[in-house]
Amino acid sequence: MSEEKFDPVIVGFFCNWCTSAAADLAGTARLHYPPNIRPIRVMCSSTVDPVYLIRALQEGADATILGGCHPGDCHYITGNYKARRRVAIVKTVLKSLGFDDTRVLLEWISGSEGPKFARVMNEYTSYIKERGPCDFKYIDSLGGD
């Protein structure tokens, strides 16, 4: 697959109180970012079971973003700290199995940071485009299924 044609799939898990609100704000302000981001609203970043992230990569996503409130600002007090821990574990597991751990990104984007939301989506999409397809799928092509 040539680099130009590669159109990555990125699944975004956005907490209801901060990053979803930021995504709303980015939309309202007509800030453009690539449609490669496929969003789902979750109540808190701490809801996100590591399984969701791995599953997304397995099912075809090239990358995943988890967006939550800034440290100290989680609507549920400490949810984002829990998410941070979980993401760290997922990354370690990916890495130790020989996969690319940058396919999971954790970002704090507050409800007032519409521009930051758009910027992160733009930057991460470009990064993944450069990086190429996720190696999970490479295993599929080897008959891994």
Partner 1 sequence: MAMKRIGVFICHCGRNIAGTVDVKKVAEEIGKREDVALATTYIFMCSEPGQKLIEESVKKYNLDGVVVANCSPTLHEKTMRNAAARGGLNPYRVEIANIREWAAWPHEDNPEAATRKAIRIINATIEKLKANASLEPIEVPVVRRALVIGGGVAGIQAALDLADAGIETILVEREPSIGGNMFRLSETFPTLDCPQCILTPKMNDVAQHPNIKLYTYSEVESVEGFMGNFKVKIRKKATYVDWDKCTGCGECLRVCPINVDSEFDLRMAKRKAIYIANEQAVPLKALIDENTCIRLQFEKKVKEGKIKPKKNVKICSKCADVCEPNAIHFQNNEEIVEEEVGSIIVATGFEVMPAEAFPELGGKYPDVLNSLQFERLLAPSGPTAGIPRRPSDGKVPESIAFVHCVGSRDPQSGVPYCSRICCMYTIKQAMLVKHALPSTAVYDFYIDIRSNGKGYEEFYHRAKEEYGVNFIRGKVSKIYKVGDKYRVQGVDTLTGRIVEVDVDMVILATAAKGSEGVKDLAKKLRIPYDEWGWLKETHLKLKPLETPVGGVFIAGAAQFVKDITDSVSQGSGAAAKAMALLSKPQLEKEPLLAKVDPEICAGCGRCKDQCAYGAISIDPVRHVAVVNEALCEGCGACSANCPTTAIQVVNFKKGQIIRAVDVLAEVF
Which residues contribute to the site for partner 1 (CB under 8 A)?
A: 7, 9, 11, 17, 20-21, 23-24, 26-28, 30-33, 35, 38-44, 46-52, 55-61, 73, 75-79, 82, 86, 118
Site for ligand FES in 65-124 (CB under 6 A): 68-69, 74-76, 79-80
CB under 5 to 8 A by kind: which of ligand FES, partner 1, none does 65 bind? none
In the numeric block, the tokens 């941070």 are attached to 84
Q: What is the DSSP letter of 70?
A: P
Comparing CB distances to ligand FES, the nearer of 15 and 37 is: 15
10: phi then psi, degrees, rounded to nearest 5: -125, 120
- CA–centroid distance for 7 within its chain: 16
Q: Where are the beta strands (DSSP E) in the chain?
A: 10-15, 37-42, 63-68, 104-108
Binding mask 8-47 for ligand FES (x = CB under 6 A): -------x-xx-------------------------xxx-
Comparing CB distances to ligand FES, the nearer of 8 and 68 is: 68
CB under 5 to 8 A by kind: which of ligand FES, partner 1, none does 9 bind? partner 1
Q: In what order do the strands lie in the sheet with 104-108?
A: 37-42, 10-15, 63-68, 104-108
- 74 exposed, middle or buried (CB, 10 Å; 0-12, 13-18, 19+)? buried
34: phi then psi, degrees, rounded to nearest 5: -65, 140
Binding residues vs ligand FES (CB under 6 A): 15, 17-18, 44-46, 68-69, 74-76, 79-80
